[in-house]
Structure 1
């Protein structure tokens, strides 16, 4: 199993303060890990929430936790990039928190942006030694949240 680096409470709180209202928004949690980001979205009324976590045990743990709050979610135990490349679904909010050693950022960003609905938001959590030409960046210690906003076409 790969190392788990859950999003800190400070960053999670900041993220949901920025997103403000996720009620009835479709939400994709890539590299879900513990599932805390997607579960917080579920608690705040996002639906449906998709969790993509390659580790089957973690995916099972997420399912147990998430089902306490809602049934409007789906767990996919698959590589996040492969999921994006093969899903026809689009989302209002996509959150990705790949391992800090992740090598495919460029492809991940490219694929995620293809799967945003109008007015959708893609958020990438990463280390502060990376910069990706996002629409907005918010820094929290050595963690950065990069935001891409998709307007109306």
Structure 2
């Protein structure tokens, strides 16, 4: 698990501050769940956490309980590809999707393509990808287009929209 640095998390939520209150938030490759938990603490109406590692999923569950956020959260312990398919079958869609896949594994583009293919982004919604500056993200993936990218040390936050 490689948690998002506090500086990056603060910058992310400064950029998203107008979009978080009342939103449906999807936290992919959730790790400890800190990004989705921060979204809930800033007024997101619901957050769905997807984490394949059972130990990490248990940490998310503990963190949600400690913060009293369990009623607004859903935890899916599965691979991201499986979880996205499940969410699509359920007809789910999200205002904000955050993904922080393991660095240098080239999972960003395939995950973006799945989000677009399964129509998991609401109109006007945004996908944010945290990646290494060594990862090369495309300018577009299917119907998603890169709006902006912000660099913080070795980390880049890339913002995609339909």
Superposed pair shares fold, TM > 0.5: yes
How many Å apart are 1:137 and its aligned residue?
A: 0.6
Report matched runs for 1:77-88 at 5 Å.
77-88=77-88
Structure 1, unaligned stretches of length 5 or more? none
Larger displacement relative to structure 2 (12-21 or 67-76)? 67-76
Q: How many residues align?
A: 147
For the residues of structure 2 that align with 1:24 and 1:105, how far apart are their CA atoms? 26
1:46 equivalent among 44, 60, 75? 44
Quote the residue 2:137 is aligned against.
Answer: 131
TM-score with structure 1 setting the length: 0.90
Report matched runs for 1:8-87 at 5 Å.
8-21=5-18, 22-67=20-65, 68-70=67-69, 71-87=71-87
Secondary structure (helix, strand or coil) at the match of 2:4 reads coil
Structure 2, unaligned stretches of length 5 or more? 140-145
How well do the aligned residues superpose, as a CA RMSD in angstroms? 1.3
Secondary structure (helix, strand or coil) at the match of 2:125 reads strand
TM-score with structure 2 setting the length: 0.86
Quote the residue 1:122 is aligned against.
Answer: 127
For the residues of structure 2 that align with 1:131 and 1:139, how far apart are their CA atoms? 13
Quote the residue 2:2 is aligned against.
Answer: 5
